[in-house]
Structure 1
Amino acid sequence: MVKLKDIAEVVGVSVATVSKALSRSHEISIEMTERIHKIANEMGYIANSQARSLKTNRSYNVGVVYVDNSRAGLKHEYFSTMLGSIQENLRMKGYDFTFISNVVGQTKHTLLSHARYRRCDGVIIVTADFEDKEVLELIESDMSVVTIDHIFDNRTAIMSDNSVGLGRIVDYIYKQGHRKIAFIHGELTTVTKERLQSFHQALQKLNLEVKPDYIKQGYYHLPKHSGLATRDLLNLDDRPTCIIYPDDYSFMGGMSEIEKHGLKIPEDISVVGYDGIYLSRILRPILTTYIQDSDEIGKQAALKLIEQIEHPKDYKVEVVTVNGKLQQGSTVKKLD
């Protein structure tokens, strides 16, 4: 079995330097740290996690709460990219992650008790009902916690720019000549509330009427509901010229309904998605959408949690906003 001493002899440094580098201590330069990690991997070094845990009083395991109402699981591209980023950035810092739920086999847990059962050093809440009592119990506990797309006063939050994103979409649609803009939103989460508020504000700023008939309830990542909402919009006597969808995947239901009505995109009706998943770039015409940087969101969540775990006395709660960008695509017709 490869030991720290073996790595130290190959690199030509002390055992202490190797140990600090493998723990990614700030005392060792980035260049030396990467060199030692590379050589350790090549030599097949496997860290003794039990010994490291005893020394630092940490498990190097992070809990992840991921409650997916659409039941898409890891097939949900936006969240799977985010979770992949969380995993990779934790791994680079020597941490693993475990999904946390309130049921394990036949045993009922709270989110907090499951996190403690798994000896988690901290928890990242990717998506959940943030008003649920178990989530609130976790937030009020002494556990290190980072949330995504929801702000608590006592916790660091990583936020996508939902308000800015929806505003940019409306502004772009308006500049293309559209005045009848509909919005099919997701279930009433914090994210949805932000987007709805931004939608209203953007229309008011442009002196456009906010028509109640143009705002419909849908669900994230569930095309069927967006299809039904699209049907209602297309059956209006004064139908919209452009429809904004909850996300790119939900738009598929809208596209199907538009085709059933014998209409073409964007010749007869314009459409816009949200998230910027790979699907939006391979559709023809290319979907106009707002690309959220889910990879960066995951990275920031992982790094901020590790910072909180490893430097609790110096850690300051903050809100980190990750900006996205508009993908103009070809699904919004320019009106005269």
Structure 2
Amino acid sequence: MVSIRDISIKCGVSVSTVSKALNGYKDVSEETRRLVLKTAKELGYVPNAHARALKTNRTFTLGILFVDDQNNGLTHLYFSHVLNSFKSEAEENGYNITFIHKRWGKQIITLLQNCKFRGIEGVCIACVEPNDPEVQELAKSDVPVVSIDYIFPGCGCVLSDNRNDMAELVRYVYSMGHRKIAFIHGTDSYVTQQRIEGYVSTLRELGLEVRQEYMLESLYTNPYTTKKATEKLLQLEDRPTCILLPDDVSAFGAIEAIQEAGLKIPDDISIAGYDGVIYSRLISPRLTTVRQDTDKIGREAAKLLIYNIEHPQNPKLEPIIVKGELLTNQSVGLV
């Protein structure tokens, strides 16, 4: 493995000069800096992360805490894109990422202990049970935390504009002539609460009745539970003309229930999804949905976390709101 000493011999300068040039110190001439960097590249020099950590007392490591209730892990169609853009932004700024958990070898430890033992400088919390005591302990600790789609007091956060995006979707469905608009929402969470608020407030704004029988719960990204909820709506004597769904993946369950009932989309009943994942473009008829800007959400979370790590005396705690985009496709028809 190529060392700093190898570079210093090749360039004819001291080891300390090479170190300063590689680490961006200003007391090295531009000519020497260019020579050192050029030589390091030619020799295939790779910085020793352990040595860097010892010297700077920093690991440049960001932790990710991610557990979804469906155990989709990194196959989660929404969060996988968010975390990928988080990773890209972190790496572009010289940071590495790792997932944090409750194990240290064979020993069970707390999430905060895991961060401390591994020298994690900051954590992105995404899709977890926020009331978990260990999550609360981590959010209240001196480890900088940025959450996605949830607000922890004293922490930075990046939020999808769930309330206003849902309101825009309801207004669009209304503009297509629908007055009986049902909503199969996800299980209780900050995101769900915001979407329900957007749905309810917009119905009232439009002079429509908020009908409890039109509001049913389903697991996120679960076609089976969404199918069951859709079947209940279709069995109502005064059934809805449009059903808003928890997400695009769940739309497969709704479509199956509607087809088994002998109905056609959008001729007999309309549906709309949420998230804008690739499946929304594969469904026939193409799904009307709200596309969340996963690239921006992930990148903004990484930028915010890095800023708060590097500016501990003046962290940014104001929520960053990321607007979605309404995609009007074929699954919502005119009434």
- Secondary structure (helix, strand or coil) at the match of 2:246 reads coil
Alignment length (residue pairs): 328
Q: How far, CA to CA, are the matches of 2:237 and 2:21 in structure 1?
A: 68
* 1:81/1:207 CA distance change after superposition, 3 Å: same
Is structure 2 residue 325 aligned with structure 1 residue 325? yes
Q: How far, CA to CA, are the matches of 2:334 and 2:190 in structure 1?
A: 32
Is structure 2 residue 164 aligned with structure 1 residue 164? yes
Displacement after TM superposition at 1:163 (Å): 0.6
Displacement after TM superposition at 1:90 (Å): 1.3
- Secondary structure (helix, strand or coil) at the match of 1:253 reads helix
The residue that corresponds to 1:86 in the other structure is 86
Gaps of 5+ in 2: 28-32
- Secondary structure (helix, strand or coil) at the match of 2:158 reads strand
* 1:62-120 Cα shifts (integer Å, max 9, x gaps): 11110111111111111111111111111112222121122455422221112222221
The residue that corresponds to 1:309 in the other structure is 309
The residue that corresponds to 1:290 in the other structure is 290
Say which one has the larger Rg. Answer: 2
Q: How far, CA to CA, are the matches of 1:246 and 1:17 in structure 2?
A: 58
* 1:275-295 Cα shifts (integer Å, max 9, x gaps): 000111122211000000111
CA contact (8 A) 2:60 2:94 kept: yes
Displacement after TM superposition at 1:132 (Å): 1.4
Alignment of 1:69-218 (within 5 A): 69-104=69-104, 106-218=106-218
Q: How far, CA to CA, are the matches of 2:134 and 2:328 in structure 1?
A: 41
* 1:27-84 Cα shifts (integer Å, max 9, x gaps): 9xxxxx9xx9999667533111122212321111111110111111111111111111
Alignment of 1:225-236 (within 5 A): 225-236=225-236
Q: What is the percentage of aligned positions where both structures have the same residue?
A: 44
Q: How far, CA to CA, are the matches of 2:21 and 2:303 in structure 1?
A: 18
* 1:42/1:133 CA distance change after superposition, 3 Å: farther
Of 310-319 and 112-121, more deviation after overlay is shown by: 310-319
Q: How far, CA to CA, are the matches of 2:265 and 2:37 in structure 1?
A: 52
Task: Give the letter aligned to residue 252 of structure 1.
Answer: F
- Secondary structure (helix, strand or coil) at the match of 2:83 reads helix
CA contact (8 A) 1:24 1:93 kept: no
CA contact (8 A) 1:155 1:317 kept: yes
* 1:172/1:229 CA distance change after superposition, 3 Å: same
* 1:150/1:280 CA distance change after superposition, 3 Å: same
The residue that corresponds to 1:264 in the other structure is 264
CA contact (8 A) 1:23 1:94 kept: no
The residue that corresponds to 2:254 in the other structure is 254
CA contact (8 A) 2:304 2:316 kept: no
Displacement after TM superposition at 1:254 (Å): 0.8
Task: Give the letter aligned to residue 48 of structure 2.
Answer: N
CA contact (8 A) 1:82 1:298 kept: yes
The residue that corresponds to 2:281 in the other structure is 281
Structure 2-normalised TM-score? 0.89
How much is the aligned-residue C-alpha RMSD, in angstroms?
Answer: 3.0
CA contact (8 A) 1:121 1:144 kept: yes
- Secondary structure (helix, strand or coil) at the match of 2:54 reads helix
Displacement after TM superposition at 1:151 (Å): 1.2
* 1:189/1:46 CA distance change after superposition, 3 Å: same
The residue that corresponds to 2:30 in the other structure is none
CA contact (8 A) 1:23 1:93 kept: no
CA contact (8 A) 1:81 1:294 kept: yes
The residue that corresponds to 1:67 in the other structure is 67
